[in-house]
Amino acid sequence: MPIIKNDDGTVSVEFGTGDIKIGSGMMFDEERGLVTFIEQEPKPIGYYEKQAEKQVDLAVYPVHLVFKNTDSLDVLIERLIKTRKYMTGELDVWND
């Protein structure tokens, strides 16, 4: 199961098998950016499927990231890039 609600109240989202659909868009107020995650039948990683509806019911998506400004989005992108460098060995997580 790729999206796991842990006993301590945290949520883990495990990527890498194509069974998480990642969506992107804007909140209804059109001022905040949105990234959503929901489980799906496995598909090739990176598979793109255009959302049929312009608005979605967020209650259907168990995990959403909401960004009030692009600075907060930039920080997440930077951390993802750094994590990629750890995974590829470009950076050493213990000596960074």
- What's the pLDDT band for 84 if we cut at 50, 70, 90? very high
Picking from 6, 5, 35, the residue whose alpha carbon sits closest to that of residue 21 is: 35
Residue 35 Cα distances to 25, 58, 60, 86, angstroms: 7, 11, 13, 23
Q: Cα(22)–Cα(34) distance, rounded to whole angstroms?
A: 10
Q: Is the pLDDT of residue 23 over 80?
A: yes
What does the domain layout of the chain look like in residue ranges?
3-68
Mean pLDDT of 16-40: 93
Segment 32-80, tens digit of pLDDT: 999 999 999 999 999 998 888 888 889 999 999 999 999 999 999 999 9
pTM: 0.86
